[in-house]
Amino acid sequence: MRFNKYLFIEIADALHISDEEVELIDKVNQEHLAKLEMIRLGWLSLSDIN
């Protein structure tokens, strides 16, 4: 998901973590989703992922 800065702050407040941590979590999730999409398209296999 792509959130604006306001939503990052709202999520961070609800979870009692910093908005920077929420942004980092989102970035990691986006990277994982990109890898899953590459697997779905046949560009990667599960053995390609560490």
Domain assignment present for 33: yes
Taking only the tens place, the pLDDT of each residue in 1-50 is 555 777 878 888 999 999 889 889 989 999 999 999 999 999 999 888 76
43 found inside a domain: yes
Contact between 11 and 3 (Cβ < 8 Å): yes
pLDDT given at position 9: 83
Instruction: Give the structural domain span for 22.
Output: 17-50
Whole-model pTM: value is: 0.70
Taking the C-alpha atoms of residue 36 and residue 13, their distance in angstroms, rounded to an integer, is 30
Is there a contact between 49 and 35 (Cβ–Cβ < 8 Å)? yes
- Structural domains of the chain, count: 1
30/8 Cα distance (integer angstroms): 15
Residue 37 falls inside a structural domain: yes
Q: Residue 42: inside a domain, yes or no?
A: yes
pLDDT of residue 3: 58
